[in-house]
Structure 1
Amino acid sequence: MKLNEFDYHLPEELIAQEPVEPRDSSRLLIVNKETGELSHKKFRDILNILQPGDLLVTNNSKVIPARLLGEKVGTGAKVEVVLLHREDKDAWHALVKPGKKLKPGTSISFGNETMVAEVMSTTDVGGRILRFKYEGVFEEILDKLGNMPLPPYIKKQLSDKDRYQTVYAKEKGSAAAPTAGLHFTEELITELKEKKIEWAEVLLHVGLGTFRPVAVENIEEHKMHQEFYRVTKEAAEKINNAKIDGRRVIAVGTTAVRALETAAARGEISDCEGWTDIFIYPGYQFRVIDGLITNFHLPKSTLMMLVSALSDKEKIMKAYNSAIEERYRFFSFGDAMLII
């Protein structure tokens, strides 16, 4: 299967630059995964679309202010760092810019030497392992010095950092938001539960595996970067019970899908955690999910491949073309799609 099969042309003005208010007023494109039939709704309409007994599974990872702007010690050259995940207490895997000039042994200063990082080594994906030196609590310093790691296609700065978090985010560790969940409000979640729609939470810290570009023409040759996931005993019981009862399991976001399908590869879902590099593309046989709430994804991305696997590539491309014609808003702060 070739990379260009997942390409499409998106007018630049359809790339959402800021979130809508309220969160659940975004648009919702519903795709029948069997027939490809499309319908256009508002996100709040899921109250009437989902059925009592459906189980929504979300990713409760919280985005850290992972983007740091610093200077190369000795030259003052500007440096940008995006933290991906911890190696140990003070060492992090990170993406750096400009990469070629940041060789092992280089030091980077942040906040007038409030914190200094030394480049320890390079990684197999072109990143760096940085070891930080500071006084105090790392997380508190990061909250002061760091910025939300918004994707490069978003040009506007956020006035409210919390708008790049889901309302149910709990455990810090992601370098990007699980954006399908950005459409939920506290009030909508309460109304869903009152309608007997179940709710379960898993964890996958979003890192390089989710947004690393596919650089090979034959997609089967692409290797995903590992990301940390966790499924609790409570979540596992809810999911297993839903499957036994024949109720629908609907993932909120592709990261929730990857956590669930990784856990299911072990057999019946049980509480588990670890690192996953699962790559889902057309031909994959889903073990857990029956439906997916997701945003509109970048052309030729692994996320496009995942959503195409749940229905089929032609139906998803038809849905994307319809969304473009109807002037939906795309990507992280854009509108939503329900494949069911």
Structure 2
Amino acid sequence: MSPRPSVILHTDRPDAALAVLKETHPDLAVHACDSYAALREMIERVAAEVVYSIRFDGTPRYPRQALTESPTVKWVSIGGSGTDHLGPWDPKRLTVTNSAGVAAGMLAEYALGAMLSFSLDLRGFERRQQARLWGSGGRVEPIEGKTVLIVGLGKTGTAVASRAQAMGLHTLGIRARPKAMPCLDEVHGPDALLELLGRADFIVCCVPLVPSTRGLLGKAAFAAMKPSAVVIDISRGGVVDEAALLEALDGKRIKGAALDVFATEPLPADHPLWGYDNVAITPHCAAVYDGWDVKSVRMFADNLARYRSGEPLENVVNPERGY
């Protein structure tokens, strides 16, 4: 740690980020990098100690080695909540923080919107509207009284639980270290997953992608679900086993799914998931709302003040847990 570290803002929207740092840390030399390819050279040229980085051009090309292998970089601040695109890293040599919570409310609204969409059969009514067909043809159902299982109770999962509880749903949750929480009717450990899946009308996936969560919702999980269950994935691609999901959809073992994340992004045009009427697909955008990037940079600026004064950083990520 140094009181005046060399800082790089690695983002495709550098102007807004630079304005925040100019306002909050006017004495620092701050450099902007808006490409993956140029990051390594800039780190070396400015001897960067701190890098704020957003995954703005996908995971496969993300320059993780430029960050994790640099002899000068001591702290990487990830602009979102997920850090799987950076891992693994040596926490003894490199500190990694994230911006957990910056989009928790928006992600929770996405999850609630998906629940309402399926309960109100909005996709079915849209198809009937396009065909100019009058008459119900579908059936609306209340979500009040239904049960939602939230897998992962970090800031996003907690926000989902709070909104779901306000809408009258029975809220179940899973977290690595179970404890009572005000917005959850029940909190269980990971070992209870299969039993809880059989009770849930909605399953909302909010866990990070780490070895223990890769393929977490696989064949056994889908086999445990009710035929009326809806899976909502706002976590990371790879947590839901897509082959197992396709089998469940084809076998009509679940009602449907709302997916914002995928194992391969962009989702290939020939991927079979595109063809299901009961699957809602969004392009990893549930956390992207107007102003989220500025909010994220402001969180970084606050943490940067702690870093410069030698105080403990907030949102330090354990690479094994992913949070």
Please, what TM-score do these two structures have when normalized by structure 1? 0.30
Give the number of the structure whose residues are more often strand, by fraction.
1
Give the number of the structure whose residues are more often helix, by fraction.
2
Q: Which has the higher contact order (CA 8 A, sep 6+)?
A: 1
Please, what TM-score do these two structures have when normalized by structure 2? 0.31
Higher-Rg member (1/2): 2
